[in-house]
Amino acid sequence: MLNLISFQTSPDQYRHWKLQTAGQVATLSMDVQEDETLAEGYKLKLNSYDLGVDIELADAVQRLRFEHPEVRVVVITSLKPRIFCAGANIYMLGTSSHAFKVNFCKFTNETRCAIEDDSKHSRRRYIAALNGTASGGGYELAIACDEIYLVDDGNSAVSLPEVPLLGVLPGTGGLTRLVDKRKVRRDRADVFSTLAEGLKGKRAKEWGLIDDYFPTSKFQDSVDARVKQIADGGSSTSGIKLNPLKFETTDDSRNYQYVKLKLDREQRYADLTIHAPEGPQPANGDEIQELGDAYWPLQAYRELDDALLHLRVNEPLIGLICVRTKGDAENVLAIDRTLAANHDHWLVREIVLHMARVLRRLDLTAKSFFAIVEPGSCFAGNLLELLLASDRSYMLNDPEAEDVSIAVSELNAGAFLMSNGLTRMQSRFLAEPERLDEVFGDQKSFNTEEAEELGLVTFAPDDLDWEDEIRVAIEERTSLSPDALTGMEASLRFAGPETMDTKIYGRLTAWQNWIFQRPNAVGEKGALTNYGKPTQAEFDFRRT
pLDDT of residue 233: 64
pLDDT tens digits, residue range 443-457?
Answer: 999 999 999 999 999
In tens, the pLDDT along 310-319 reads: 999 999 999 9
CATH fold group of domain 248-485:
2-enoyl-CoA Hydratase; Chain A, domain 1 (3.90.226)
pLDDT, tens digit, for every residue of 269-314? 999 999 999 999 999 999 999 999 999 999 999 999 999 999 999 9
DSSP 453-501: HHT--SB--BTTTHHHHHHHHHHHHHTS-HHHHHHHHHHHTT-S---HH
Neighbours of 145 (CB within 10 A): 22
222 has a pLDDT exceeding 70: yes
Q: Tell me, yes or no, if the two domains 11-230 and 248-485 fold the same way.
A: yes
State the average pLDDT over residues 122-148.
97
Looking at residue 125, its pLDDT comes to 97
pLDDT interval class at 2 (50, 70, 90): low
pLDDT band at 122 (very low <50, low <70, confident <90, very high): confident
Provide the residue ranges of all domains of the chain, joining segments of one domain with +. 11-230, 248-485
| pTM attached to this predicted model | 0.96
Q: Which of 36-45, 217-226, 512-521 has the lowest mean pLDDT?
A: 512-521
The 10s digit of each residue's pLDDT in 433-446 is: 999 999 999 999 99
Which pLDDT value is given to residue 24?
Answer: 95
Of residues 238, 247, 186, the one with CA closest to residue 4:
247
Inter-residue contact 355 to 382 (CB < 8 Å): yes
Q: Is the dihedral of CA 289, 293, 299, 305 positive or negative?
A: positive
Look up the CATH architecture of domain 11-230: Alpha-Beta Complex (3.90)
pLDDT above 50 for 1: no
Residue 234: predicted pLDDT? 59
- Average pLDDT, stretch 23-33? 97
Whole-number percent of the chain with pLDDT over 70: 99
Query: Does pLDDT of 261 surpass 90?
Result: yes
Cβ atoms of residues 139 and 177 within 8 Å:
no
Predicted confidence (pLDDT) per residue in 479-512, tens digit: 999 999 999 999 999 999 999 999 999 988 888 8
pLDDT at 402 over 50: yes
pLDDT at position 123 is 85
- Using CA atoms, how far residue 413 sits from 270, 417, 440, in Å, is 29, 9, 8
Sequence-separated (6 or more) residues with CB below 8 Å from residue 301: 351, 354, 355, 358
pLDDT averaged over the chain?
95
Q: How far is CA 264 from CA 83, 313, 319, 422, in A?
A: 46, 17, 10, 34
Q: Residue length, the chain?
A: 544
